[in-house]
Amino acid sequence: MEEKKHVKYQGRLVFVGFGSVGQGTLPLLLRHIDMPRDRITIITGDERGKQEAEHYGIKFIVRPLTRDNYRAVLDPLLGKGDFLLNLSVDVSSVALIEHCYAKGALYLDTCIEPWLGGYTDQSVSASRRSNYGLRESVLALRRKYPNGGPTVIPTHGANPGLISHWVKQALVNLARDIHGETAIPQSKSEWAQLAMKLGVKVIHCAERDTQVANPGKRRFEFVNTWSVDGFVGEGSQPCELGWGSHEKHFPHDGMRHEYGCDAAIYLQRPGASVRVRSWTPMEGHYHGFLITHGEAISISDYYTVRNGDQVVYRPTCHYAYHPCDHTVLSVHEYAGKNWALPEKKRILMDEIYDGIDELGALLMGHAKGAYWYGSQLSIHEARKLAPFNNATSLQVAAGVMAGVVWAMENPAAGILDPDDLDFQRMLELASPYLGKQVGVYSDWTPLKDRGRIFPEDVDTSDPWQFKNFRVV
């Protein structure tokens, strides 16, 4: 792909973590950001990615960050106007954000992470260990620094990240097709009012990964098309979803948080054990894992309409993830071993020989029923577009690159959710790497064709109730 430099950057860039997403993101940043390579440093916990870094002549340091050493390791590398790109696991996002604020450095990550062991620390409540709790800890920093500061963008990859911009594009398309409206909302309040006017009840981050590899999953091995540790960490957290104002049936295993924005709930079981019905254009019906993700909370929060303290409107939002079939087998084995992770882990990359990652926002409950808008990217196209990527990692890397460029273009915007960003600029930056971006209407509901096998406990008065989506 022809290089197009979007921004000239004078500062230093520090990667923390360099797994599959970091390796996939580096060539995109070098392609689109004008900066000397000797001003880029990678700090990571192991040797993964060393060959890819050496290929580009980037300084590569193996030194895991801990509670005790992160300041000392980062101090010589970060100053005012520099950029910390956190693509690690088990390194506290809150600690790194506070350090960046103290230094005047910019920051972006793809997931709000706790320190090592934080996802499963039984001395901490499930609520505080959840993505809801982790997001609230970042929002607390926004209140701590009310006058803004260097741009900090937590949770901006593909999902969370690009999914928030696809939701906005989908709402714009729905407003055009249903009401003939073409005006673009200009504030959080206007976006929420538009979603309410359109009658959107449920938003899925609907993803079906069909990539296949040879060799596939072996016994006692966990394989994935992106970070195994990242996926297992999410899958081990409490199952979470944004909880809509239309919902009439609170889950029997559901819990509310007793603090914060109150836009989401959690279930008293890990996300990798919960499945939901969803739909994508190429796959059709499928059962996906309800893995906790930041967008489930931030999107439901962003589109909340209040009258004083009363919630007038809020959509239900959650992830509905069907990973590649090799990963599904890995999850079954992992769960069957009482959530004990095997020692062998493998990221599927060069061994993938076919398949796509179909990832988008599925908006339901409006006058046209269901509408999916997102990316359909094949492994073959991904390999043509950028090195060191599969279809999944490239979708994430595109979101990371877009977020980094936007932050560099807007370096003093403070702490922002993905939903706060300019969706048109973000999609303009990321779209060249996303394959086909399509919008497709459907008459699908979670009740469609259900009666052909056996009757179930469903709510036929409103197909968009969460109890109809949940697989029990």
Beta strands in 98-229, from DSSP E residues, in sequence order: 106-109, 152-153, 202-209, 212-213, 221-224
- Residue 444 domain flag: yes
Task: Read off the amino acid at residue 60.
Answer: F
CB 326 within 8 A of CB 223: yes
- Residue 196 domain flag: yes
The two structure tokens encoding residue 230: 């990242």
The 3-state DSSP class for residue 223 equals strand
The pLDDT value recorded for residue 148 is 83
Residue where a domain terminates, one of 124, 153, 182: 153
Alpha helix segments (H runs only) across 175-293: 188-198, 228-236
The two beta strands, 284-289 and 275-280, are antiparallel
Angular region, 161: left φ>0, alpha ψ -120 to 50, beta rest: left
One domain, residues 191 and 140: no
One domain, residues 181 and 62: no
Residue 447: CATH number of its domain: 3.30.360.30
- Residue 411 domain flag: no
- Residue 407 domain flag: no
One domain, residues 143 and 179: no
Task: Read off the amino acid at residue 139.
Answer: L
Q: How far apart are CA 402 and CA 26, in angstroms?
A: 12
CB 171 within 8 A of CB 363: yes
How would you class 230 by CB atoms within 10 Å of its CB: exposed for 0-12, middle for 13-18, buried for 19 or more? buried
Residue where a domain terminates, one of 134, 153, 172: 153
How would you class 325 by CB atoms within 10 Å of its CB: exposed for 0-12, middle for 13-18, buried for 19 or more? middle
Residue where a domain terminates, one of 133, 153, 173: 153
One domain, residues 139 and 231: no
Which residues constitute the domain of residue 29? 7-153
CB 262 within 8 A of CB 318: no
The two beta strands, 344-347 and 305-307, are unpaired
* Residue 225 phi, psi dihedral angles, 5° rounding: -95, 0
Maximum separation of any 2 CA atoms in the chain, in Å: 65
- Residue 125 domain flag: yes
Per-residue pLDDT of 107-138, as tens digits, reads 999 999 999 888 878 888 999 999 999 999 99
Q: Which DSSP state fits 218?
A: P
* Residue 180 phi, psi dihedral angles, 5° rounding: 70, 20
CB 406 within 8 A of CB 422: yes
Residue 143: CATH number of its domain: 3.40.50.720
3-state SS record for 338-368: CCCCCCEEEECCCCEEECEEEEEEEEEEECC
One domain, residues 143 and 287: no
How does pLDDT run along the chain (472 residues), one tens digit per residue? 667 889 999 999 999 999 999 999 999 999 999 999 999 999 999 999 999 999 999 999 999 999 999 999 999 999 999 999 999 999 999 999 999 999 999 999 999 999 988 887 888 899 999 999 999 999 999 999 888 899 999 999 999 999 999 999 999 999 999 999 999 999 999 999 999 999 999 999 999 999 999 999 999 999 999 999 999 999 988 999 999 999 999 999 999 999 999 999 999 999 999 999 999 999 999 999 999 999 999 999 999 999 999 999 999 999 999 999 999 999 999 999 999 999 999 999 999 999 999 999 999 999 999 999 999 999 999 999 999 999 999 999 999 999 999 999 999 999 999 999 999 999 999 999 999 999 999 999 999 998 777 777 899 999 999 999 999 8
Q: In this structure, how many other beta carbons lie within 10 angstroms of the beta carbon of residue 50?
A: 16
**Distance set, CA 334 to CA 337, 341, 343 (Å):** 5, 6, 11
One domain, residues 145 and 176: no
- Residue 406 domain flag: no
Q: How far apart are CA 120 and CA 127, in angstroms?
A: 12
- Residue 387 domain flag: yes
One domain, residues 146 and 194: no
Task: Read off the amino acid at residue 308.
Answer: G
User: Which secondary-structure segment (H or E) carries 458?
Assistant: none
The pLDDT value recorded for residue 455 is 74
Taking each helix axis from N to C end, the angle separating 423-430 and 391-409, rounded to the nearest 10 degrees, works out to 130
CB 334 within 8 A of CB 272: yes
The two structure tokens encoding residue 276: 């939901």
Q: How far apart are CA 331 and CA 285, in angstroms?
A: 20
The pLDDT value recorded for residue 100 is 97
- Residue 415 domain flag: no
* Short-list 359, 431, 408, CA closest to 153: 408
Q: How far apart are CA 331 and CA 343, in angstroms?
A: 14
One domain, residues 146 and 175: no
One domain, residues 317 and 297: yes
Q: What is the CA radius of gyration of the chain?
A: 21
Q: Number of structural domains, the chain? A: 2
One domain, residues 249 and 202: yes
The pLDDT value recorded for residue 2 is 61
One domain, residues 106 and 217: no
One domain, residues 128 and 252: no
The 3-state DSSP class for residue 185 equals coil
Task: Read off the amino acid at residue 449.
Answer: D
The two structure tokens encoding residue 407: 């932050």
